[in-house]
C-alpha cells in the first residue's frame, strides 16, 4: 500500500510542475512584442498601431499582426480593403505605411461575424505565425484580443514572445481583468516589459488635467505586481479621429505631443533589443 501511495504522490508532484513548452519564433522576425490588456475598450489596438509606426519612424523594420479574430481593427485603422496574395503555400503580408500587416479582417467581410470555436481560432493564429511570408523584420507587434483565452494561450505556449506590454485605463473595473492577464503571462513565462496608463487624463481648455477614469490605478498595479510603469498617454480627440480616417496619429502627425510619447516607447524597446 505504501508503495502505491508513493507512486501516486510522485505522479501528483509531476502534474503540479509547470509544463515546458517548445516555443518557436515567427519566421522572418527577430523579436515579437505582444500588446495586451485582457480588457476590451482600453485603446490597445490604437496603442499597437501607433507603436508599430513609431518603431518604423526610428528606423526599424516592423510588422503588425492583428490577432483579434473576433474584432479585428487593423483593416479600419490602416484603411486596408485589399486581400493578401498567396502562392498556395504562404500569404503575403499587405504593406501599408511601410509596415507589413496581417489580419483576419483582410480575409473576410468587415461586417461578417466570426462565429468560430476555439480550435478554428487556434488554426487561424498558427496560419498567421507560420504561413505568412514576413520579411526581415526587426519587430512584429501583435495586437492581442481581450481576455485570457485561446489566442493568448497559443501565443504564450507555442510562440517565442520576447515581451508583452500591458495597456489599461486607470479605473478598477478595467484593472480587474488586467491583473488576470498579468498573472497569465507570468505563469506562462512571458516577460512583461511594463504597463501603460492609456487615456489617463484630459486637458481642458482651461489647462487643467481632468482624471476622467480615475487616477493612479495602472501605476499602483505595476507596483503591486513588481512590473515597470512605462508612462501615461492622455486623452486627445485627434487620436481617435486619425484612427477612424485610417491614418494613425504617429503617421499623420509625428510631431504631435502624443506621437512623441509613442516615439519614446519605441526608442526604449529598440534600445532593449537591438
Could you give the 3-state DSSP secondary structure of residue 37? coil
Cell readout for 149 is 483565452
Q: What is the pLDDT of residue 10?
A: 56
* The 3-state secondary structure of 83-151, one letter per residue: CCCECCCCECCEEECCEEEEEHHHCCCCCCCCCCCHHHHHHHHHHHHHCECCCCEEEEEEECCCCCCHH
Q: What is the pLDDT of residue 36?
A: 93
Q: What is the pLDDT of residue 92?
A: 97
Of 146, 153, 184, the residue nearest 48 (C-alpha) = 146
Q: What is the CATH number of domain 28-273?
A: 3.40.50.300
Instruction: Report if pTM > 0.85.
Output: yes
Q: What is the pLDDT along the chain (274 residues), one digit of tens a residue?
A: 555 555 555 544 554 444 555 688 999 999 999 999 877 778 899 999 999 999 999 999 999 999 988 889 999 999 999 999 999 899 999 999 999 999 999 988 766 666 677 788 888 899 999 999 999 999 999 999 887 778 888 888 889 999 999 999 888 888 888 899 999 999 988 999 999 999 998 888 888 888 888 788 999 999 999 999 999 999 999 999 999 999 999 999 999 999 999 999 999 999 999 9
Q: What is the pLDDT of residue 142?
A: 96
Q: What is the pLDDT of residue 20?
A: 58
Q: What is the pLDDT of residue 17?
A: 47
- How far is it, in rounded angstroms, from Cα 20 to Cα 14? 12
Q: Per-domain residue ranges for the chain? A: 28-273
- How far is it, in rounded angstroms, from Cα 269 to Cα 271? 5
Q: What is the pLDDT of residue 162?
A: 95
- How far is it, in rounded angstroms, from Cα 56 to Cα 252? 13
Amino acid at each position: 500500500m505504501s508503495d502505491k501511495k508513493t507512486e501516486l504522490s510522485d505522479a501528483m508532484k509531476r502534474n503540479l510542475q509547470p509544463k515546458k513548452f517548445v516555443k518557436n519564433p515567427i519566421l522572418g522576425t527577430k523579436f515579437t512584442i505582444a500588446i495586451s490588456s485582457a480588457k476590451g475598450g482600453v485603446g490597445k489596438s490604437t496603442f499597437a498601431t501607433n507603436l508599430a509606426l513609431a518603431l518604423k519612424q526610428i528606423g526599424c523594420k516592423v510588422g503588425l499582426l492583428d490577432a483579434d479574430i473576433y474584432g479585428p481593427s487593423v483593416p479600419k485603422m490602416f484603411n486596408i480593403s485589399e486581400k493578401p496574395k498567396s502562392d498556395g503555400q504562404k500569404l503575403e503580408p499587405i504593406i501599408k505605411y511601410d509596415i507589413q500587416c496581417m489580419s483576419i479582417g483582410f480575409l473576410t467581410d468587415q461586417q461578417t461575424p466570426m462565429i468560430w470555436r476555439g480550435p478554428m481560432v487556434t488554426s487561424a493564429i498558427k496560419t498567421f505565425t507560420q504561413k505568412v511570408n514576413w520579411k526581415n523584420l526587426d519587430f512584429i507587434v501583435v495586437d492581442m484580443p481581450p481576455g485570457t483565452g485561446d489566442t493568448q494561450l497559443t501565443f504564450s505556449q507555442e510562440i517565442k514572445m520576447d515581451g508583452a506590454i500591458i495597456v489599461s485605463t486607470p479605473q478598477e473595473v478595467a484593472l480587474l481583468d488586467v491583473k488576470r492577464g498579468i498573472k497569465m503571462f507570468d505563469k506562462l513565462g512571458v516577460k512583461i516589459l511594463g504597463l501603460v496608463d492609456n487615456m489617463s487624463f484630459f486637458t481642458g481648455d482651461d489647462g487643467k488635467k481632468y482624471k476622467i477614469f480615475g487616477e493612479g490605478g495602472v501605476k499602483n498595479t505595476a507596483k503591486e505586481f513588481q512590473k515597470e510603469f512605462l508612462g501615461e498617454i492622455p486623452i486627445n480627440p485627434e487620436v481617435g479621429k486619425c484612427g477612424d480616417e485610417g491614418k494613425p496619429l504617429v503617421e499623420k502627425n509625428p510631431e504631435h505631443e502624443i506621437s512623441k510619447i509613442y516615439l519614446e516607447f519605441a526608442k526604449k524597446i529598440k534600445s532593449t533589443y537591438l
